[in-house]
Structure 1
């Protein structure tokens, strides 16, 4: 195994890190906003059916197929090609980002729904007795407790989305995986190149894991004090 070649490929693959981080961050942000909207929809009977159908479709189909359906499939509809959205939807970046956002929203909405269900009813009742409005209860009691309950599962989703960004390389985007695939086709030295790419993804996953542990400690220090005794 040529260590100098691995070092060269490592630096070359790092060239795709900005695009990977861009897709990763925006997909998490867009997915979180859409997930919150889906949970608000669940407060009505019709909205609950719509949100459930959305989650079923996007959780029940592979992300790769969703990317292909958006990138290749939408071009088959004439009204889309002649709409104001076409300048965006014909670009692989926007198609890949849209697929990541829609997929992440389905998983995040279920994680958030589980966190909301875990909020003790007594805490909400205490807020009402104190004279808080529904919005104040949501902002100061429900959401903070729900986020704390959902944090462990959401940290796993964050790491999953990091790995999912690699799939956008299939629609010509040159993220880290796209650069690695191009390098393999040039050199046919797959092992060294893939090891370099895997090392970068592992390092990013480790950072996310440590960050989530730190946030958990900040949100519930009493639990960690018990375990350290």
Structure 2
């Protein structure tokens, strides 16, 4: 592969980078909204709400994202009542559909990760905070949320990276993103492997940036780490 061809292929891949980033950012943010709702249901004392949340998590964690995309994008479109509903505004748009399905999928994982963080908060710390007069939102903001987020961030960062890589599946329903463009260029030039390697390098760079930013967030939530040299800190973030 010549340098000129590599640069041309790289430029074409980078041209659709905004689409990939849009898919990723909106999927993670919408997934977080869904995850908070599912988390509330999952930890509810209402057995019906808890059961619905458990079923949702089981289904979306137990089936491949590819199948979920096909079932929702192609499957629901076969029903006339879906075409007559407001939900059709999402289904008829390929990018919106991809974001919606990926958000539903990552929400199931995010909900369980956040639940694990909440369960890691010691009841003794909550009792101590209440003993000095903390309650309600102040207790959540000052004690529960920071500890839960600190415990959840390593696993959450892995899920965020997996969501970034999942954007490559959006090309299967016609969304023009980096992996799809790389495959098209590679097939046309009979240089599939080198061109896909270029796309892989971009994904690695994006993953590094995400890990770096989430690492900063973890240090912010862990004051004791700020005064330790990097060599003394145990790596906690894993790229999935």
- TM-score over 0.5 (shorter chain): yes
Tell me how far apart the structure 2 counterparts of residues 169 and 71 of structure 1 sit (CA, whole Å). Answer: 13
Q: Where do 5+ consecutive residues of structure 2 fail to align?
A: 233-240
2: CA distance, partners of 1:172 / 1:181: 13
2:2 alignment partner in structure 1: 2
Aligned position for 2:137: 135
- Residues 115-138 of structure 1 show CA distances to partners (whole Å, capped at 9, x for unaligned) of 001011111112222333333222
The answer to whether the 8 A contact 1:5-1:192 is kept is: no
- Structure 2 residue matching 1:51: 3-state secondary structure: helix
Runs of 4+ off more than 4 Å: 226-229
Residue aligning to 1:105: 107
C-alpha distance in 2, partners of 1:226/1:17? 36
Gaps of 5+ in 1: none
Given candidates 189, 192, 213, the residue that maps to 1:190 is 192
Give the TM-score, by structure 2 length: 0.90
- Displacement of 1:199 in angstroms is 0.8
Who is 1:51 aligned against? Answer: 53
The equivalent residue for 2:17 is: 17
Q: Is the 8 A contact 2:27 2:102 kept in 1?
A: yes
Give RMSD over aligned pairs.
1.6
Distance 1:203 1:211 in 2: 13
CA contact (8 A) 1:151 1:212 kept: yes
Distance 2:226 2:145 in 1: 22
Match status 1:118 vs 2:125? no
- Tell me the equivalent position of 1:90: 92
Higher relative contact order (CA 8 A, sep 6+): 1
Q: Which moved more, 1:81-90 or 1:53-62?
A: 81-90
Structure 1 position 188, deviation (Å): 2.4
Aligned 8 A contact 2:146 2:221 in 1: no
Deviations 1:111-162 (A, max 9, x none): 1000001011111112222333333222221111100110111111111111
Aligned counterparts of 2:138 and 2:151: Cα–Cα separation in 1:
19
